[in-house]
Amino acid sequence: MGTSPGAEPVQAVRWTDDGLRLLDQRLLPHEERYVVCRTAEETAAAIRDMVVRGAPAIGVAAAYGAVLAVRARQAQDPARWREGFAADLDRLAAARPTAVNLFWALARMRRVAAQADDAEAPARLEAEARAIHEEDVAANRRMGELGAAFIEPGSAVLTHCNTGALATGGHGTALGVIRTAWRQGRIREVFADETRPWLQGARLTAWELVREGIPVRLIADAAAAALLAAGRVRWVVVGADRIAANGDVANKIGTYGLAVLARHHGVRFMVVAPTSTIDPGIADGGAIPIETRAADEVLTAAGRRVAPQGAGAWNPVFDVTPAGLVDVLVTERGALERPDREGIARLLG
């Protein structure tokens, strides 16, 4: 893959005549291979197995999965499709537990199905899935503008995990801010955590930035403290998988440590997430379900075992950053400095 300055961001999730076309993120950066999901079950498996990942992208994929479900269930039994459809949506919801965008998108699809008669349901659900996708891209572009305005020209920034076009409907959340700020000439350099164990930073963020000609330097996750202590970045910019009503933020494991480090070293900490990532039904971060994945993800690196047989591992893939450590929360409805319960309630109107 060559560098192509100014290249358009990749489109990882695409609705086609054949079904839902996903760029298989397990294979990047070595191979750009697309898989096509033709059933809701295949879509749920793609989310569970991380063919597609990132909170907003999971929501968009699940919405298209619901379109595949209505089509298949109506083909089986045009009059009694709703029961099977509901079961398919439950299966999609069970694919991953932390990113609330998944449940938010499926709730929208359920509402539309409930209001549609049998004949109009497939078209109405397809229109809703497309709307969820388009709204996400628009939200990311707006957040890009709002977040970039905080970044002083000439800044270096640190980001974590992958929050780019791969993780969303397009453009990106935190990486969308970085992308916009770069185009505006505000960013000198991006540091990206490699993000063990799945290496979203090394495999995906670096891939997105290199293909667009945006300068990126990877660091081992453990190097973040030294980077911030050396005063080499002005902002840490991250996304979110679920934000509680009080502003606590669940995001990729390691985010909490970065927030503590940023506060300690006087570096500013920005969270970028659409309002679809805010879960007003969860009072604080302690109640956010945190996904634990297979021990093998920690015990191996690049497909090769790195720990001795007999060693175990603990692999929580998200952690919770208390709202008090967040300097700015950027959403498509506006940027909130020092987010708290009142500010979030105001934002959600």
Least separation in angstroms between CB 80 and ligand MRU = 35
Tell me if 271 contacts ligand MRU by CB under 6 A.
no
Token pair of 203, please? 């495999």
Asked if residues 206 and 216 have their Cβ atoms less than 8 Å apart, the reply is yes
Q: Where are the beta strands (DSSP E) in 76-170?
A: 155-159
* Residue 131 burial (CB count, 10 A): 13
Q: In what order do the strands lie in the sheet with 242-244?
A: 278-279, 242-244, 249-252, 318-321
Active site residue 24: no
Least separation in angstroms between CB 53 and ligand MRU = 3
Q: By CB under 6 A, what part of segment 83-102 binds ligand MRU?
A: 99
Please select the residue that binds ligand MRU; options are 136, 193, 194, 241, rule is CB under 6 A: 241
Tell me if 140 contacts ligand MRU by CB under 6 A.
no
Pairing, β 34-37 against β 19-23 = antiparallel
Q: How far apart are the first and last CA of the chain?
A: 45
* Positive/negative CA dihedral, 112, 107, 26, 243: positive
Would you say 200 is a known binding-site residue?
yes
Token pair of 108, please? 């929208």
Least separation in angstroms between CB 160 and ligand MRU = 7
Degrees, nearest 5: CA angle 331-11-42: 100
Please select the residue that binds ligand MRU; options are 43, 180, 205, 251, rule is CB under 6 A: 251
Tell me if 159 contacts ligand MRU by CB under 6 A.
no
Tell me if 276 contacts ligand MRU by CB under 6 A.
no
Task: Give me the catalytic one of 241, 248, 279, 327.
Answer: 241
Please select the residue that binds ligand MRU; options are 158, 161, 177, 233, rule is CB under 6 A: 161
Best CA proximity match to 271, nearest among 336, 204, 195, 197: 336
Please select the residue that binds ligand MRU; options are 59, 65, 122, 239, rule is CB under 6 A: 239
Instruction: Please identify every residue annotated as catalytic.
Output: 241
Residue numbering of the annotated binding site for substrate: 53-55, 96, 200, 251-252
Question: Residues at the annotated binding site?
Answer: 53-55, 96, 200, 251-252
Write out the residues near ligand MRU by the rule CB under 6 A.
53-56, 99, 161, 163, 167-168, 173, 200, 239-241, 251-252, 317
